[in-house]
Structure 1
Amino acid sequence: MHIDGIKDNRVTVNLHNGIADVRLNRADKRNALDDALFQSLAAAGDALTSLPGLRAVVLSGEGESFCAGLDFGSFKGMSQRDGKTSTIGTMVAEDAMTHLAQQVCWVWQEVPVPVIAALQGHALGGGMQIALCADIRIAHPDTQLSVREVFWGLIPDMTGTLMLSQLVRPDVARELVYSARILQADEGHALGLITHLSEDPLVAAQSLATEIASRSPDAVRAAKRLLTRKLKAEAAEQFAAERQEIHRLIGSANQNEAVKAYFEKREPEFTDADSGELDHRRQK
């Protein structure tokens, strides 16, 4: 299926019997997110929002991992506080409520049919946030999961603060974000992050998609509209808050230290929050 906007075959989309098979196609990099993959994934999702005859979507990653998060090369631009070194912070449209990094996740809520994510290997950082925006997540028990952003001196700014809060208890969401720890999918299933565990998540996802595709398409679409209605009502304000917070963090001294320490293989040495940060909190 040809879709304008997909670059360098970064994403493949195949349609069969009303089911779209969407795959991140950067297996040699564990499907890590670079600018081209961000743009291609958003384009694929956008095309599916108006595709006639669509009944279900299976979202997966080629190779050993679903998505290992942001490409390490993308960290090189984070010393620029204005975010202009990359297109991922660009709003997708003048009146949009998402920028590109948020849209690669949120678009799966905009797709009018159920989206099932099949996870294996790694779903870290941005990869985890993409999975959180699917309607259903099926994972191999050994899949490594993490809302990893705080490890890099950042926050989950790709819709993750909203979507995570819909799936787990508030204290669990906070612990996962604050600690940035990596957990396996069997624990994620117990916490509510993962819908089903499977030794072959892609086959299981395809089987469930086939079952859903056999139901009345009018009823399935109506059900998704209703089940996402309240979520969409909260989204714009929360996504704007994510963008505000990430803009403050990118290129800051502590964020640079988090990245530098990782690549220098040492413990980071952080400074206390500066007076500007404290004033910002008091104003809120």
Structure 2
Amino acid sequence: MGEQRVSLTIEDGVADVRLSRPEKRNALDPGMFAGLIETGERLKNEPGVRAVVLSGEGPDFCAGLDFGSFRAIASNETRPALEPDQVAEGPAKATGQRAAYVWAEIPAPVIAAIRGHALGGGLQVALGADIRIVTPDARLSVLEVKWGLIPDMTGTQLLPELVGRDVAKELTFTGRVISGDEAVALGLATRADADPVAAALALAREIAGKNPHTVRAAKRLLDLAGRVELAEGFAAEQTEVKALIGSPNQVEAVTASFEKRTPVFED
């Protein structure tokens, strides 16, 4: 079921992941949750992947939880996103949390390309990416309050890192829908582009041309910032740079630069 909801192609080190339920605005149902988790887990260990682009088929990124799931909640049935993932090893345990946070756990950079709606759980999936590129008129919202709920797919913990605690509270308490341009102004999105998928793929290809060990080390370090004490972060920085200095890919980067040619890196 999961594979029907999410497509994956890999070319020249770039993984192109697409939520593939456009007739339902890529809404989250059990199959979509499964597809996101399965695909993300595969990419955590897929050799040769140097960058990932995450987008939605059709006009929307993801409109949030499928209305059928809301009916299940209203009738006191189990909400799919709350089901525990029995094999989860990271901090996220519930299925919905895994579907969003697995993208943060991929060693390579992940770029979310957002057009149309990214609402509720759809927005939380995008929060798992390292970079978010949006159309100026995209519509984003922490929508859960509309349904009498809270963001429960890691959003309460990740959103304040991007926009600050006070803005995160305002967006969460009101469910206000914001445009792509406002999302950029608030820090929720990285930048706006009329064609975010093309822009994300171009950026991914650029990243894929860099030393993959350097990029992954940089992601690990930047993900520590603000989450650990400075002494731990500084020590990690030294550990990473010592591993890079003199490594084959680092030597290749220097050699190619001096020889004015495109470097050839090993994964």
TM-score if structure 2 supplies the norm length?
Answer: 0.81
Match of residue 263 from structure 1: none
Residues 143-167 of structure 1 show CA distances to partners (whole Å, capped at 9, x for unaligned) of 0000100111000010001110110
Match of residue 6 from structure 1: 2
For residues 131 and 86 of structure 2, the distance between their equivalents in structure 1, rounded to whole angstroms, comes to 28
Structure 2, unmatched stretches of 5+, are 229-267
Aligned-residue sequence identity (percent) comes to: 52
For residues 232 and 66 of structure 1, the distance between their equivalents in structure 2, rounded to whole angstroms, comes to 29
Match of 1:88 among 78, 81, 87: 81
Residues 90-147 of structure 1 show CA distances to partners (whole Å, capped at 9, x for unaligned) of 2212564321100111001110010000000000000001111100000000000001
Task: Please say if 1:119 is aligned against 2:103.
Answer: no
Q: Partner of 2:2: helix, strand, or coil? A: coil
Question: Letter of the aligned partner of 1:69 in structure 2?
Answer: G
Offset of 1:228 from its aligned partner? Answer: 1.6
Question: Letter of the aligned partner of 1:48 in structure 2?
Answer: L
Question: Letter of the aligned partner of 1:92 in structure 2?
Answer: D
Offset of 1:230 from its aligned partner? Answer: 5.3
Q: May I ask how many residue pairs the two structures share in their alignment?
A: 227
Match of residue 221 from structure 1: 216
Match of 1:193 among 188, 196, 215: 188
RMSD: 1.8
Question: Letter of the aligned partner of 2:102 in structure 1?
Answer: V
Q: Partner of 2:133: helix, strand, or coil? A: strand
Offset of 1:231 from its aligned partner? Answer: 7.0
For residues 103 and 2 of structure 2, the distance between their equivalents in structure 1, rounded to whole angstroms, comes to 16
Match of residue 79 from structure 1: 74
Residues 14-66 of structure 1 show CA distances to partners (whole Å, capped at 9, x for unaligned) of 00001100000000011010111111111000000000111000000000100
Residues 186-219 of structure 1 show CA distances to partners (whole Å, capped at 9, x for unaligned) of 1111111110100000000001001100110000
Match of residue 65 from structure 1: 60
For residues 91 and 232 of structure 1, the distance between their equivalents in structure 2, rounded to whole angstroms, comes to 25
User: 1:1-284 to 2 correspondence within 5 Å?
Assistant: 6-7=2-3, 9-79=4-74, 85-93=78-86, 96=89, 97=91, 98-229=93-224
CA contact (8 A) 1:35 1:86 kept: no
Offset of 1:86 from its aligned partner? Answer: 4.3
Match of residue 250 from structure 2: none
For residues 24 and 192 of structure 1, the distance between their equivalents in structure 2, rounded to whole angstroms, comes to 24
The structure-2 alpha-carbon separation of the partners of 1:86 and 1:179, relative to structure 1 and needing over 3 Å to count, comes to: closer
